[in-house]
């Protein structure tokens, strides 16, 4: 969906400030890369795999989230908004895309709403790990990725938001989120910038 942030990238126009992540205090969040979202996720699988590899090589922990519902009691407003077309735990659709390079030691955080911080203990886990910065990747850019980035920001984490390892249903929503993130919540990054940044730290 999103092109890279090289000098010819259209997303350069959104950037108000730049910064590189610090691998000593960062974690990579891979949001909702699940079978039910595979059609949206497919175009970014290569860039996401590259991002994961770059982070692993820099000893940055990789944390996956998995959106799922266990009973109507945890549907909340999502039931009304999506007409009961929800991701139910225990179904193949709720599982992470098998081609992702997920290691046994990678944390998987289950959530039942857009943001990854609500009722998940993600914040406490990050603090316990000494994490002060998060790199946000995954799907959907304008929903779960954006909400998670906002939640991280208001909790005092420095946020980096991937322009080429996030995806959503159309380019206008992708661009709108990147513009909004750069304006008020996150530093934009992509595979090229992460490679340069993490190789010199």
Domain spans of the chain, in order of start: 10-200
Q: Count of alpha carbons within 13 Å of 21, Cβ hemisphere only?
A: 36
- Angstrom distance (rounded) from CA 17 to CA 74: 38
Other beta carbons less than 10 A from residue 92's beta carbon? 8
For residue 28, list its beta bridge partners: 62, 135
Closest residue by Cα to residue 192 from 1, 2, 4 = 4
Is the bond preceding residue 45 a cis peptide, omega within 30 degrees?
Answer: no
Which residues of the chain, if any, have pLDDT below 70?
A: 1-10, 200-201
- What pLDDT sits at residue 6? 47
Q: What is the pLDDT of residues 37-86, one digit of tens each?
A: 999 999 999 999 999 999 999 999 999 999 999 999 999 999 899 887 89
Q: Which long-range contacts (CB under 8 A, 24 or more apart) does 52-57 make?
A: 52/28, 52/100, 52/101, 53/101, 54/191, 54/194, 54/195, 54/198, 55/23, 55/26, 55/28, 55/135, 55/194, 55/198, 57/198
- What pLDDT sits at residue 172? 94
- What pLDDT sits at residue 12? 78
Contact 105, 122 (CB under 8 A): no
Q: What's the CATH number for 10-200?
A: 3.40.50.850
Name the token pair of 158.
Answer: 């420095």
Look up tokens 């799922």; give the residue: 68
- What pLDDT sits at residue 183? 96
Closest residue by Cα to residue 145 from 169, 119, 121 = 169
DSSP structural state of residue 24? T
């Amino acid at each position: 969906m999103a092109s890279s942030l090289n000098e010819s990238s259209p997303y350069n126009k959104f950037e108000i400030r730049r910064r590189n992540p610090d691998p000593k205090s960062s974690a990579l969040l891979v949001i909702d890369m699940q079978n039910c979202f595979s059609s949206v996720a497919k175009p970014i699988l290569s860039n996401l795999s590259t991002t994961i590899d770059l982070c692993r090589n820099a000893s940055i922990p990789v944390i996956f989230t998995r959106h799922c519902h266990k009973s109507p009691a945890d549907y909340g407003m999502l039931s009304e908004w999506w007409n009961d077309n929800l991701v139910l735990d225990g179904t193949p659709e709720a599982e992470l895309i098998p081609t992702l390079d997920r290691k046994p030691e990678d944390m998987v955080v289950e959530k039942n709403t857009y943001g990854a911080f609500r009722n998940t203990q993600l914040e406490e886990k990050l603090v316990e790990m000494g994490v002060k910065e998060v790199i946000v990747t995954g799907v959907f850019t304008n929903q779960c990725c954006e909400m998670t980035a906002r939640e991280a920001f208001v909790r005092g984490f420095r946020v980096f938001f991937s322009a080429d390892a996030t995806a959503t249903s159309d380019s206008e929503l992708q661009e709108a989120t990147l513009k909004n993130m750069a304006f008020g919540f996150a530093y934009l990054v992509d595979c090229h910038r992460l490679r340069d940044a993490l190789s010199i730290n």
